[in-house]
Amino acid sequence: MLAALAAAFGLFFAYDLDKVLTFGRLAAERGHLSAWVSANPVLATVGFGLLYAGVTLLSLPVGAVVTLGIGFLLGTAWGSAVVVVGATAGATGLFLLARSAFGTSWRGSVERVLSKLDAGFHDNAFQYLLILRLIPVVPFFVLNIVPAFVGISLRQYVLATFLGILPGTVVYCSVGAGLGVVFDRGEVPGLELLKDPVLILPLAGLALLAALPVIYKRVRGSKAVPPPVITSRITR
């Protein structure tokens, strides 16, 4: 199974598919793609959902572009639903692999991160994962498999993943839904769009709200668990 994932990951770059999933290609093909979506709404929904699940399962570095593209083609609400379901399905696949015998070899690669997050997960696994999903200070691939090694239940993992990535996905898809204006000006956007404080601050507020029960519990005298201090980050 792991060999199949590695082979699929390698083939993605071997066939230069990373050069296909770009804003430039989206701008060039938007007419054809929009017409296809209008003519095949059900197929588009299923296809884009499976595409995003595959991107997540293989941890391909094109998640942001695909999210914005789906938002552009399907709109904010429809696109957000497709992305969240696809991403949750792909992340759950990785979680189940990591929890099985296949994922044993992954533990060593995330041991350093695991040591920083282990106490937090044991303190309140659902709340902790929800906060980390809302504010992605931990690389998405790492956060997909680390919970498998701390005993979090599948139900908690799926629910925290779904709810945690939902706000950010809505923001991303809403940005994507407005790409037509950028394309009409003859411009091709970059991922700097996602660094705008207008997008980041609402997510920080949501994370703070999710953290309030944990903060209250600690103020009441529970064992304090320091927040994760991880500097590496990737864009989902």
Q: Containing domain of residue 139, as a range?
A: 2-219
Instruction: Establish if 139 belongs to a structural domain.
Output: yes
Q: What is the pLDDT along the chain (236 residues), one digit of tens a residue?
A: 555 666 666 766 665 666 778 888 898 899 999 999 999 999 999 999 999 999 999 988 888 899 999 999 999 999 999 999 999 999 999 999 888 866 676 777 777 777 787 777 887 889 889 988 887 778 888 888 889 888 899 999 999 999 999 988 998 898 888 888 888 877 766 656 656 565 566 556 656 666 766 665 666 555 444 555 444 443 44
Instruction: Establish if 228 belongs to a structural domain.
Output: no
The conformation of residue 216, written as its DSSP 8-state character, comes to H
Q: What is the pLDDT of residue 184?
A: 81
Instruction: Establish if 232 belongs to a structural domain.
Output: no
Q: What is the pLDDT of residue 12?
A: 66
pTM here is: 0.78
Percentage helix, strand, coil for the chain under 3-state DSSP, each rounded to 5: 80, 0, 20
Structural domain tally of the chain? 1
Torsion of CA 93, 99, 105, 111, to 10 degrees: 110
Instruction: Establish if 166 belongs to a structural domain.
Output: yes
Note the Cα 147 to chain centre separation in Å: 15
Q: What is the pLDDT of residue 118?
A: 75
Instruction: Establish if 82 belongs to a structural domain.
Output: yes
For the beta carbon of residue 169, count every other beta carbon within 10 angstroms. 25
